[in-house]
């Protein structure tokens, strides 16, 4: 099964995440199918960038977002509609 989840990058105590589509059996920072965005919690408010067309494509293909990614997608969607 395909999942959308965060892949950790950055140095110790300075995390930076990429939002990826990966097989649920692969490790957190392991192999992935596609990179669909980034999440940088160092900013206030945290900076999220998504390739919205790819997010929709993978959701239609059956990829299940993790709880955190689901929250980031909904926040990004509400921020883009309010702008």
Domain boundaries of the chain, sorted by first residue: 2-82
Distance of CA 9 to the CA centre of its chain: 13
Give, for all 83 residues of the chain, the pLDDT tens digit: 999 999 999 999 999 999 999 999 999 889 999 999 999 999 998 999 999 999 999 999 999 999 999 999 998 888 777 76
pTM of the model: 0.89
Q: Which residues pair with 20 in a beta bridge?
A: 5, 35
- Cα→Cα distances 43→3, 21, 26, 36, Å: 26, 24, 29, 20
Distance of CA 56 to the CA centre of its chain: 12
Which class does domain 2-82 fall in? alpha beta
Q: Find out whether 36 and 50 touch, Cβ atoms under 8 Å.
A: yes
């Amino acid at each position: 099964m395909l999942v959308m989840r965060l892949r950790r990058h950055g140095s110790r105590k300075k995390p930076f995440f990429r939002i990826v589509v990966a097989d649920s059996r692969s490790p957190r920072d392991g192999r992935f199918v596609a990179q669909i965005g980034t999440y940088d919690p160092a900013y206030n408010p945290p900076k999220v960038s998504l390739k919205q067309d790819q997010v929709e494509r993978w959701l239609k293909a059956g990829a299940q977002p993790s709880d955190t990614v689901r929250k980031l997608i909904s926040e990004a969607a509400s921020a883009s509609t309010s702008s």
